[in-house]
C-alpha cells in the first residue's frame, strides 16, 4: 500500500455501500476489469470512497524522471521522454487523477509548453491529465456532465490505450492505460452509450434508510472533521489489512481457472439479456476471475458468475432512460439454472430430484409456489398489464372527463434546436459559445483576456519582431498581439411543452399516440440535459402542470396522469406559456427556450377563438421564441389549423407520423454509419 501522505477518509471507515466497495476492490485486484461507474443520488459518499481507494493501491515502479510513468520492465518505445534503455527506476504511489467537468481539451491531452515557447522559442510538449493517469486511476466526478468532445478523447484513449496529440506544431503519442472511475447523478442526464460501455462495472447506490446506520455515518464523519489525522490513524490497521488482501488477490489472480462450464454460463447470461457486442462477456469473465481471487479461490464458481452479471450487465442491457435500472433476477436465476451441472448425489427421475423433480426453470430446487402468494411473472414485474378502460368520470359541471390514457411506446425522435448561437449552460442541444467547447477560431480579446489562443498570438506577433528590436531568442509581445480562443459547443435549453388536453384530443387512440410522442421528446430532453416544463390547457383555462425543472422523470409521471376533456382554450395555453417564459428569462437570462406546442390547432370558447390564439402566437414570435408545433390532427379530412398556428409562431409544424419517421430514419443513418466505421 502507498504510504498515507494525507489524512484522507479511510476506505474501511465507510458504512455500508457493499456493492460499491466490491466494485472498486475488484478493479484494484484486476485493472483489466475496466473501471466502475457509480450511479446514485447526491450525498451518498460516492466521491469519498473513490478518493479513499487511492490509499489502497500498490505502488508502481517507473523510469526515473519520466513524466509518462513508463514501466522500467517494459518502457514505451514511443514515450516522448524516451528512449529509456538502461534507465534507473523509481517507486511511487499510483496516482488518482481527477478530471474536472469544466476542464479544457488542452489540459486533458496536453499542449505546447508555453513557458519554453515564449522564452526559448522551442516547441516542447506539456503532458496532460491522460499522461498523468497512466497506470493509475482517472476519476471523473459528474461524468455525465462532461462535454461531448472530451468524451470523444476519453473513448479514443480507453479504446487504444494511447493518447494522440496533433496540435500547434506538436505531434506526440504516449501510452494512456488507466482505471476509469466515474460518478454521476442520473437525475442530471445519462451518458452516451459509447462511453457507458467503456466502464467495466456499474453500481447503483442510495442512502440507507436504517436509522442506526445513518447515525453511525454521521458519527464517523463528525469524528473525521474534528481531527482527520487521528481518525485516519485509528483505521490504519484495517487499511493495511485490506491493502495486504488486495496484494494477495493480485498474486493469486493468474492461478484462477475459468472452467468451460463457468464460461458457458457467462456467455448464456449475456445472450439472455441481449447485450450489444462481446465486451460484456469479456468483462464478466474478468470480473468473475477477480471475484474468485478476492475470495481466495483458484476456481470460478456460479456465485462469482452471478455477482459478475449483477455488476457488469445493468448498464449494458437495452432499456429506455425511464426504465428501472438493474437486472431481472428471475431471468438471471433461470439462465444460470439451465447451464448448471447435473446433480450426481440425488435420485434420478424421482419427485424430489433429477430432471423430473425440479425442471429447468428453477434449477432442480424447490417447486415454484402457486396460489395467492405466488410471485408475479415477467409481465407483472416489467409493467402493468393491459386492462379495460375505466368508464368516464362525471364532472361537477355536467361534462364528462375521460380517464387518464397510457402513453404509447417512446421512440427515437428528431432533434429540434434553437437557431443562432447561445451562451447558456453546457448541454447537448443548440449551438453555443462555451468555455469547454471546440476552438473554432481566434479573435481580439473582448474585454479581459479569458482563453489565450497561443498560435494565433504568435502569428500576430511574428511580423513585428524585427521592428521591435527582438533581443536574442526572446519573443517580444504587446497587448495588441494577444488573441483569445472562440470555442463552439452546445448548450442545454428550456423545453416548454404546451399540451392540448381538450375534448378534441381525448380519443383514446389519438391520446395514446400523442403521449408517446411527448414521452419521446421528454427522453430526448433528458439525454440532452435540458430543463423541461409543461403547460396544459382544457376546459376554461390553462395551468402550469410542471414548473421548469431538471427532473424529466417528474414530467413523464405528470404526462402519464394527464386528464383530458372539455373545450380548447388555445389562447390561454399560449399566454400562460408566455408568462412562464418571461419569469424564467429573469431567473436564467442565458438559457434559451424551445416551445413545443402539442395540439390539433382547434380553438373553442368564443366566436373569434382561432384569431385570438393567432394573436397570442404572434406575441411569442415577436419575442423570438423558437417554436415547434406537433400537429395531432388525424383523419381523412384535415383543416390544417396546427400548421396555421406554426406559421404565426414563426416555427415548424411536424405531424406525429413525420416525427416518428424522421426519428427512425435518423437511427438507421447512425446505425449504418457506425457499421461502416467498424468495417473500416
Given the residues 279, 412, 451, 585, select the one marked as catalytic: 279
User: In terms of DSSP bridges, do strands 36-40 and 179-184 run parallel, antiparallel, or are they unpaired?
Assistant: parallel
Summarised one tens digit per residue, pLDDT across range 525-573 is 877 878 888 999 988 889 998 888 877 777 777 787 787 788 889 999 9
Q: How far does Cα 203 stand from its chain's mean position?
A: 13
Tell me whether strands 170-175 and 162-167 are parallel, antiparallel or unpaired. Answer: antiparallel
Among 9-13, 366-370, 407-411, 520-524, the least confident range = 366-370
Bigger pLDDT: 616 or 486? 616
pLDDT band (50, 70, 90) for residue 583:
very high
Using the predicted structure, report yes or no on whether residue 26 has a pLDDT greater than 60. yes
**Digit-coded pLDDT (tens) for 58-73:** 888 888 888 888 888 8
What are the contacts of 63-66 at 24+ separation with CB within 8 A?
63/87, 63/88, 63/89, 63/90, 64/88, 64/89, 64/90
- Residue 171: how many CB atoms within 10 A of its CB? 11
Q: What is the pLDDT of residue 257?
A: 92
What pairs with residue 95 in β-bridges? none
| Cβ atoms of 595 and 627 closer than 8 Å | yes
Q: What is the pLDDT of residue 259?
A: 92
Strands laid side by side in the 531-538 sheet: 541-549, 531-538, 494-500, 593-599, 626-631, 652-655
- What confidence category does residue 659 fall into, taking pLDDT thresholds of 50, 70 and 90? confident
Q: Binning pLDDT at 50, 70 and 90, where does residue 135 land?
A: confident
Residue spans of the domains in the chain: they are: 11-206, 252-318+326-340, 445-482, 494-666
Closest by Cα among 314, 309, 316, 302 to 332:
309
pTM of the model: 0.61
| Cell, residue 14 | 465507510
Count of positions (residues) in the chain: 680
Burial of 295 from C-beta contacts in 10 A (0-12 / 13-18 / 19+): middle
Over residues 159-193, the pLDDT tens digits come to 778 888 776 666 788 888 888 888 887 766 667 77
Query: At residue 472, does pLDDT exceed 90?
Result: no
Q: Which of 36-40, 93-97, 474-478, 532-536 has the highest mean pLDDT?
A: 532-536
Residue 156 and residue 174 in contact, taking contact as beta carbons nearer than 8 Å? no
Indicate the class that CATH gives domain 11-206: alpha beta
Q: Is the confidence at residue 235, as pLDDT, over 60?
A: yes
- Range with the lowest mean pLDDT among 318-322, 331-335, 646-650? 318-322
Contacts of 371 (CB under 8 A, 6+ apart): none
Strand partners, 110: 127
DSSP-derived secondary structure letter, 504: G
Q: By percentage, how much of the chain surpasses pLDDT 90?
A: 23
Strands 393-394 and 400-401, sheet pairing: antiparallel
Q: What is the pLDDT of residue 579?
A: 94
Name the residue among 182, 85, 188, 70 with its Cα closest to residue 135.
70
Q: Which of 378, 385, 381 is nearest to 272 (CA)?
A: 378
What's the grid cell of residue 224? Answer: 473525521
Confidence bin at 320 (pLDDT 50/70/90): low
pLDDT computed for residue 372 by the predictor: 37
Mean pLDDT lowest among 456-470, 572-586, 640-654 = 456-470
Is residue 279 flagged as an active site residue? yes
DSSP helix/strand/coil, 510: helix
Domain topology for 494-666: Rossmann fold (3.40.50)
- Which residues are within 8 A (CB) of 410 and not within 5 positions of it... i.e. 6 or more apart? 320, 516, 519, 520, 522, 523
Residue-wise pLDDT for 368-408, tens only, equals 444 434 443 333 333 333 444 444 444 444 444 455 666 66
Model confidence at 291, in pLDDT bands (50, 70, 90)? very high
Domains 11-206 and 252-318+326-340 agree in fold: no
**pLDDT tens, 487-515?**
888 888 999 999 998 887 766 567 788 88
Which carries the bigger pLDDT value, residue 98 or residue 675? 98
pLDDT higher than threshold 70 for residue 648: yes
Instruction: Using the predicted structure, report yes or no on whether residue 90 has a pLDDT greater than 50.
Output: yes
Banded model confidence at residue 438, pLDDT cuts 50, 70, 90: confident
Q: Is the pLDDT of residue 196 over 50?
A: yes
Q: How would DSSP label each residue in 415-465?
A: PP--SS-B--SEEEEEEEEEEEEEEEEEE--SSS--SB-HHHHHHHHGGGT
Q: Is domain 252-318+326-340 classified as CATH 1.10.8.80?
A: yes
Amino acid at each position: 500500500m502507498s504510504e498515507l501522505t494525507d489524512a484522507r477518509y479511510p476506505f474501511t471507515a465507510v458504512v455500508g455501500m457493499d456493492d460499491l466497495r466490491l466494485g472498486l476492490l475488484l478493479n484494484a485486484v484486476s485493472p483489466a476489469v475496466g473501471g466502475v461507474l457509480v450511479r446514485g443520488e447526491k450525498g451518498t459518499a460516492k466521491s469519498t470512497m473513490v478518493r479513499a481507494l487511492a490509499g489502497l493501491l500498490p505502488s508502481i515502479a517507473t523510469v526515473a524522471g519520466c513524466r509518462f510513468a513508463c514501466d522500467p520492465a517494459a518502457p514505451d518505445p514511443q514515450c516522448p521522454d524516451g528512449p529509456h534503455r538502461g534507465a534507473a527506476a523509481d517507486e511511487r504511489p499510483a496516482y488518482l487523477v481527477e478530471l474536472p467537468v469544466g476542464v479544457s481539451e488542452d489540459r486533458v491531452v496536453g499542449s505546447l509548453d508555453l513557458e519554453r515557447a515564449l522564452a526559448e522559442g522551442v516547441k516542447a510538449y506539456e503532458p496532460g491529465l491522460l499522461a498523468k493517469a497512466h497506470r493509475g486511476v482517472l476519476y471523473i466526478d459528474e461524468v455525465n456532465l462532461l462535454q461531448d468532445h472530451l468524451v470523444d478523447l476519453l473513448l479514443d484513449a480507453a479504446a487504444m490505450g494511447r493518447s494522440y496529440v496533433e496540435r500547434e506544431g506538436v505531434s506526440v503519442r504516449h501510452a494512456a492505460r488507466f482505471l476509469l472511475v466515474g460518478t454521476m447523478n442520473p437525475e442530471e442526464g445519462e451518458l452516451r452509450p459509447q462511453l457507458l460501455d467503456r466502464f467495466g462495472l456499474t453500481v447503483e447506490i442510495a442512502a440507507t434508510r436504517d436509522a442506526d446506520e445513518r447515525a453511525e455515518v454521521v458519527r464517523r464523519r463528525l469524528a473525521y472533521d474534528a481531527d482527520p489525522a487521528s481518525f485516519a490513524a485509528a483505521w490504519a490497521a484495517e487499511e493495511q489489512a485490506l491493502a495486504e488482501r488486495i496484494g494477495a488477490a493480485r498474486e493469486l489472480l493468474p492461478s484462477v481457472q475459468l472452467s468451460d462450464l463457468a464460461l458457458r454460463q457467462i456467455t448464456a447470461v449475456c445472450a439472455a439479456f441481449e447485450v450489444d457486442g462481446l465486451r460484456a462477456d469479456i468483462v464478466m469473465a474478468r470480473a468473475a476471475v477477480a471475484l474468485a481471487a478476492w475470495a481466495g479461490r483458484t476456481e470460478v464458481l456460479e456465485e462469482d458468475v452471478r455477482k459478475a452479471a449483477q455488476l457488469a450487465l445493468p448498464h449494458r442491457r437495452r432499456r429506455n432512460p425511464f426504465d428501472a435500472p438493474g437486472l431481472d433476477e428471475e431471468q438471471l436465476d433461470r439462465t444460470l439454472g439451465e447451464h448448471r451441472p447435473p446433480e450426481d448425489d440425488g435420485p434420478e427421475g424421482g419427485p424430489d430430484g433429477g430432471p423430473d423433480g425440479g425442471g429447468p426453470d428453477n434449477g432442480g430446487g424447490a417447486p415454484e409456489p402457486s396460489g395467492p402468494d405466488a410471485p408475479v411473472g415477467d409481465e407483472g414485474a416489467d409493467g402493468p398489464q393491459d386492462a379495460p378502460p375505466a368508464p368516464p368520470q362525471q364532472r361537477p359541471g355536467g361534462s364528462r372527463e375521460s380517464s387518464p390514457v397510457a402513453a404509447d411506446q417512446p421512440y427515437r425522435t428528431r432533434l429540434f434546436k434553437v437557431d443562432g448561437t447561445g451562451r447558456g449552460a453546457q448541454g447537448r442541444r443548440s449551438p453555443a459559445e462555451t468555455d469547454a467547447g471546440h476552438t473554432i477560431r481566434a479573435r481580439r480579446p473582448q474585454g479581459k483576456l479569458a482563453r489565450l489562443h497561443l498560435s494565433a498570438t504568435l502569428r500576430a506577433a511574428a511580423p513585428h519582431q524585427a521592428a521591435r528590436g527582438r533581443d536574442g531568442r526572446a519573443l517580444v509581445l504587446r497587448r495588441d498581439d494577444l488573441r483569445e480562443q472562440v470555442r463552439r459547443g452546445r448548450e442545454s435549453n428550456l423545453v416548454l411543452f404546451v399540451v392540448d388536453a381538450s375534448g378534441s384530443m381525448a380519443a383514446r387512440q389519438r391520446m395514446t399516440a400523442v403521449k408517446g410522442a411527448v414521452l419521446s421528446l421528454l427522453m430526448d430532453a433528458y439525454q440532452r440535459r435540458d430543463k423541461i416544463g409543461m403547460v396544459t390547457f382544457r376546459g376554461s383555462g390553462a395551468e402550469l402542470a410542471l414548473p421548469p425543472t431538471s427532473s424529466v422523470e417528474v414530467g413523464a409521471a405528470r404526462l402519464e396522469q394527464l386528464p383530458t376533456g372539455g373545450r380548447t382554450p388555445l389562447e390561454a395555453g399560449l399566454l400562460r406559456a408566455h408568462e412562464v417564459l418571461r419569469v424564467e428569462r429573469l431567473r436564467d437570462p442565458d438559457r434559451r427556450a424551445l416551445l413545443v406546442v402539442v395540439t390539433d390547432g382547434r380553438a373553442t370558447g368564443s366566436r373569434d377563438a382561432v384569431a385570438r390564439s393567432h394573436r397570442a402566437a404572434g406575441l411569442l414570435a415577436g419575442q423570438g421564441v423558437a417554436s415547434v408545433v406537433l400537429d395531432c390532427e388525424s383523419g381523412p379530412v384535415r383543416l390544417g389549423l396546427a400548421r396555421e398556428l406554426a406559421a404565426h409562431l414563426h416555427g415548424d409544424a411536424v405531424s406525429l407520423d413525420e416525427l416518428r419517421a424522421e426519428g427512425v430514419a435518423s437511427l438507421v443513418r447512425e446505425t449504418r454509419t457506425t457499421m461502416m466505421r467498424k468495417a473500416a
